[in-house]
Structure 1
């Protein structure tokens, strides 16, 4: 008898229960992929950067200490690096390169 009452109650709950409706959101977030044509080169102690107008140049030593931070104001820029011989990390915007001053 208890089994019949539970079965009827369960069936009744299924019939009366309101269905849950979900709607998928069709909105999407566009991630803008900025393709950078930044060119970084070094000759002797002169750093040459092209294609980075308006971006920030950061120079770090191998210990991670920021030695220089400057905003690049033209498409083609040269910087005289008066640092001791060694390896340095150059970051221009999202572009990162390792250079060696000899």
Structure 2
């Protein structure tokens, strides 16, 4: 019985030591580059949005409630945010940023 178990263990160890073939596959990664970059800056309570002509500007509070939504109708626009102090989520197109009004 011991000889049988040892022969099985030896066979398994021998098979594990044999070289195996490994094939490499090429992967193609597609990166979606948005060359029309959108810039969002906040100075005091004035939000400056540039590079977002035709996009929709949406502002959410931390509870997820939309507090403002406007269509950006120029390449560079300034919006006076008459919002209470706090943190807000600004979404323009696919770009999302967190801003803090103090």
Interval containing the TM-score (normalised by the shorter chain)? 0.5 to 0.7
| Superimposed CA distance per residue, residues 50-95 of structure 1 (whole angstroms, 9 cap, x where no aligned partner) | 0000001000000000011111000000000011100000000000
How far apart are 1:33 and its partner, in Å?
4.9
* Alignment correspondent of 2:21: none
User: Does 1:100 pair with 2:100?
Assistant: yes
**How do residues 30-69 of structure 1 correspond to structure 2 at under 5 angstroms?**
33-69=33-69
Pair member with larger Rg: 1
Stretches of structure 1 lacking an aligned partner (at least 5 in a row): 1-29
Runs of 4+ in 1 over 4 A off after TM superposition: 30-33
* Alignment correspondent of 1:87: 87
| TM-score, scaled relative to structure 1 | 0.66
Quote the Cα distance in structure 1 between the aligned partners of 2:69 and 2:77: 14
Aligned length: 73
C-alpha RMSD of the superposition: 1.7
| TM-score, scaled relative to structure 2 | 0.66
* Alignment correspondent of 1:8: none
How far apart are 1:34 and its partner, in Å?
3.5
Quote the Cα distance in structure 2 between the aligned partners of 1:76 and 1:95: 16
* Alignment correspondent of 2:27: none
